[in-house]
Structure 1
Amino acid sequence: MAIVMLTAVTHVERKAATSFVFDTVNRLGGWIDDTRMYSNLMNTIRMTLPAGAFGTLVNALEEGGISVGPPEGLGDVSDPAIERMATLQLTFFHDEPDLKREVPSVPG
């Protein structure tokens, strides 16, 4: 079974948008498996969600100010209750500078 791939963009503040995605996935009976944050430009969120909930997820994110492209890899949903793994690549548009993180020096 293929992983469902979603891409999205938003002007919503990144922490608020990420929390909104988490809350929406949980409300729809899914859960977050992992999150990767790439500075303050993009998050990749890995989730598991019932197959029948992807349409509702896309609609809810759109209503929350997150523009989502059509899901790729969803295919025919013969059993809407079956759990499907998915990724959401969420790109943030803003005027903030790139995040700078100090990396401690390692003795060596």
Structure 2
Amino acid sequence: MTEVNDAVLHSGGWVEGHTLLSNIATVFKLELPVKGLQVLADKLEPLEVRLDEESRETVAKVTGTAGDPSVEIRVTLNVTFIHDEPDLRRAVPAVPG
């Protein structure tokens, strides 16, 4: 997660928030300039965070047709972790009432 955050920062953007889905996935809410979208995609590749075909096509379309490249856009990045570990379980205390 730190490496993804660093890639976003180096792309000129920032992480607005994230949601952890057990140890299976994380959803990042990002904001970055249009010109940083391809930079982010390129920086994610060495981290083995690979965009699917539809996402790569969208990056190409947005960066190729957007007017002002400094305009900021909101992006959601869903990262699914591939591993053999069991689902993360947490005890949730009962709330009286």
TM-score tier by shorter-chain length is 0.7 to 0.9
- TM-score normalised to the size of structure 2? 0.86
| Equivalent of 1:72 in 58, 62, 69 | 58
1:79 & 1:63 partners in 2: Cα distance? Answer: 28
SS in 2 for 1:94: coil
Q: Superposition RMSD on alpha carbons, in Å?
A: 1.5
Task: State the shift of 1:71 in Å.
Answer: 5.7
Corresponding position of 2:11: 28
1:72 & 1:47 partners in 2: Cα distance? Answer: 16
Corresponding position of 2:81: 92
Q: Which runs of 5+ in 1 are unaligned?
A: 1-17
Task: State the shift of 1:72 in Å.
Answer: 3.4
1:53-107 Cα offsets, whole Å, 9 max, x none, are 1111111101121111216386322211110100001001000110011101111
Aligned residues: 91
Corresponding position of 1:15: none
2:82 & 2:4 partners in 1: Cα distance? Answer: 16
SS in 2 for 1:63: helix
**Which structure has more helix as a fraction of its residues?**
2
Determine if contact 1:40/1:99 at 8 Å carries over to the other structure.
Answer: yes
Identity over aligned pairs, percent: 35
- TM-score normalised to the size of structure 1? 0.77
1:24 & 1:37 partners in 2: Cα distance? Answer: 18
| Equivalent of 2:34 in 51, 72, 79 | 51
Q: Tell me which moved more, 24-33 or 66-75.
A: 66-75
Q: 1:26 is aligned with what amino acid? A: L
**Which structure has more strand as a fraction of its residues?**
1
